[in-house]
Amino acid sequence: MEYKFSPKIKNEIDGILKEISFWNEFFSINFDFYFDGWAIFLKEKSLYPRSIVIFKSYTTNSYSIKSFEVHLNYSKKEEFNEIFSVENIRNQSLLLKELKEIIYGKDILNNASKIYKNRFLK
């Protein structure tokens, strides 16, 4: 198990942040360390924002991505509704490919297709 401040993990996170820095105009990008892994957060800067979370556990060699619709409740507190997730992404290049597809709307289309009983995917 890698320690959260190890050079290997730092280089891994820095590499991903460098690759996604292209999206800084459209997303606020942050990262954080947790007890069981680390996460990178992308929050869309738009009227109807999404939040995309990349997570990697310290004990596995795979990534996961989750996409959330963000809205305010009656007390003006943000609420998150998961609209798409991908687990067990094996490497960084597949992670970046999947992230790009999600940014371009794969998550929204998939969610809309579920709501409208796959009419969009025919």
In a domain, 2, yes or no: no
Cα angle, residue 107 at apex, residues 106 and 112 outer, rounded to 5°:
100
In a domain, 64, yes or no: yes
In a domain, 62, yes or no: yes
Measured distance CA(98)–CA(89) in Å, rounded: 9
In a domain, 1, yes or no: no
Is the Cβ–Cβ distance between 86 and 65 less than 8 Å?
yes
What domain range includes position 35?
A: 7-121
Q: Average pLDDT for residues 6-27, to the nearest whole number?
A: 92
Task: Count CB atoms within 10 A of the CB of residue 64.
Answer: 19
In a domain, 37, yes or no: yes
In a domain, 45, yes or no: yes
Q: Average pLDDT for residues 7-28, to the nearest whole number?
A: 92
**Whether the predicted pLDDT of 108 surpasses 90:** no
In a domain, 108, yes or no: yes
In a domain, 85, yes or no: yes
- In this prediction, residue 1 has a pLDDT band, given cuts at 50, 70 and 90, of low
Tell me how many domains the chain contains: 1
Q: In terms of pLDDT, which residue wins out, 97 or 111?
A: 97
Phi and psi at residue 83, to the nearest 5°: -115, -15
List 71's β-bridge partners, or say none: 79
Residue 97 in tokens: 């490919």
User: Rounded to whole angstroms, what are the CA distances from 50 to 12, 24, 114?
Assistant: 24, 14, 18
